[in-house]
Amino acid sequence: MGERIGRAAELLLGEVLMKERMVRGLSRMEIGRKINKKEQEVAKFEAGEFIPLPVLEAYAEALGEPIQKKYIRRISFLRKWEIEKKEEQHELVEIYRALFEE
C-alpha cells in the first residue's frame, strides 16, 4: 500500500487533537475510554494516522468540541476527492485548524 495522499492534513489533525487533549488534562487512556479506542490507537491518531470520520466525531465530542455536520460532510467530500484525484486537498488543513480554534 503506497503512501496516503493528504498526509499533511492528517499530521496536523493529530497534533491539534493531542494539544486539545493535553489542554484538558486528559491522558490518552482517558480519551481512549471516551471514544472506545485503546491508548495505542489514540497515540497513532495523534501521530498522524488516518482517523475515520466517526472516530473524529467521537474524539471532538469527548473534547467538548462537537463538529457540525456541515463540516463532517465537507471533510468527507474532500477526503474522497483526494482519493479520486490523487491530490492533497489543502482545504482540509484549514478546516482542521478552524474546528479547534478558540
The residue among 83, 77, 38, 32 whose CA lies nearest residue 58 is: 32
What span, in angstroms and rounded, lies between the C-alpha atoms of 37 and 47?
A: 15
Q: Are 51 and 45 in contact (CB under 8 A)?
A: yes
Residue boundaries of the structural domains of the chain: 7-99
Residue 4 has pLDDT above 70, yes or no: no
The pTM (predicted TM-score) of the whole model is 0.87
Domain 7-99 in CATH 3.40.250.10? no
Residue 102 has pLDDT above 70, yes or no: no
Q: Which residue has the cell 478552524?
A: 98
Residues 6+ apart with CB under 8 A from 21: 28, 31, 46, 63
Question: What are the tens digits of pLDDT across the range 29-62?
Answer: 999 999 999 999 999 999 999 999 999 999 999 9
- For residue 12, how many C-alpha atoms fall within 13 Å in the half-sphere facing its CB? 16
